[in-house]
Structure 1
Amino acid sequence: MKKSGILNRHLAGALAELGHGDGVLVCDAGMPIPDGPRVVDLAFRAGVPSFEEVVDGLLAELVVEGATAAEEVRDANPAAAGLLAGRFRSLTYVSHEHLKELSAGARLVVRTGEARPYANVLLRCGVFF
């Protein structure tokens, strides 16, 4: 049995399959999930697990070379906007509609229990060397 890191076997296995350039959408409980990407649904109750907990857990295990968020997050959810700005040096903003379109190309979707609007980010995997 693993003793640290991500213990959820479905999420740990999905992360191990990712490669350079693959997309990982971390989303709130309300984000529409497109057909196609593998989905690991962590939502348990409203707010559990939080967007911040999941993002931080993923950043501890993944190399991320870029991130994309909805520009609406800046006005509608300042807490999530601050979190994203603090975690990602290479962060771009697009409309929420465009983020939903981009999410169809993600390899993995990780759904959180987050119940605040626009708490979504599309991560682009990098390499450790």
Structure 2
Amino acid sequence: MKKSGVLNSDISRVLSYMRHTDTICISDCGLPCPDETELIDISLEKGVPDFVRVLKAVVNDMSVEKIFLAEEIRVKNPAVLKEIQTLLPGVRTDFMPHEEFKKKLLSCKAVVRSGEASPYANIILQSACIF
């Protein structure tokens, strides 16, 4: 039995298969996931689990070199943006229009759907090389 890191078997599986520059998305409960991309739905109810809690667990279990965010988060959800910046200090951040962000989901290994119910609480994490 695994005793540390992400215990969710689907998230753990995806993280273990990821290589340098592969991507995974952590989303709010409303972000549409393309049929071609694996959806790992861990939402229980509105707000549970919240986006930041899921993000913390995932970034503690992977090496991140770059993140992608919708530019709308700056105005529509500055509190979550601040949490992201606190969790990932110094990590390169690319902002883009939300519609462009959604297109990038096609290349993600998976989308992890949280129960978050606040606008633009979505992030794409790009994996770094661990050596």
Do these two structures clear the TM 0.5 threshold for a shared fold by scoring above it?
yes
Whether the 8 Å CA contact 2:67–2:125 is kept in 1: the answer is yes
**1:59, 1:110 → 2: CA distance?**
13
8 Å Cα contact 1:85-1:91 kept in structure 2: no
Alpha-carbon distance between aligned partners in 2 of 1:23 and 1:101, rounded to the nearest angstrom = 13
Q: Distance in 2 between matches of 1:29 and 1:97?
A: 17
Q: Secondary structure at the match of 1:102?
A: helix
Amino acid at match of 1:90: R
| TM-score when normalising by structure 2 | 0.93
Structure 2: gaps of 5 or more residues? none
Q: Percent identity?
A: 35
1:60 is displaced (CA, Å) by: 0.6
Give distance in 2, aligned partners of 1:99 and 1:114.
18
Q: Please give the alpha-carbon distance, in whole angstroms, between the structure 2 residues aligned to 1:76 and 1:48.
A: 20
Alpha-carbon separation, structure 1, partners of 2:40 and 2:78: 26
Query: 1:14: which partner in 2?
Result: 14
How many residue pairs were aligned? 129
Cα distance in 1 between the residues matched to 2:27 and 2:128: 20
Q: Which runs of 5+ in 1 are unaligned?
A: none
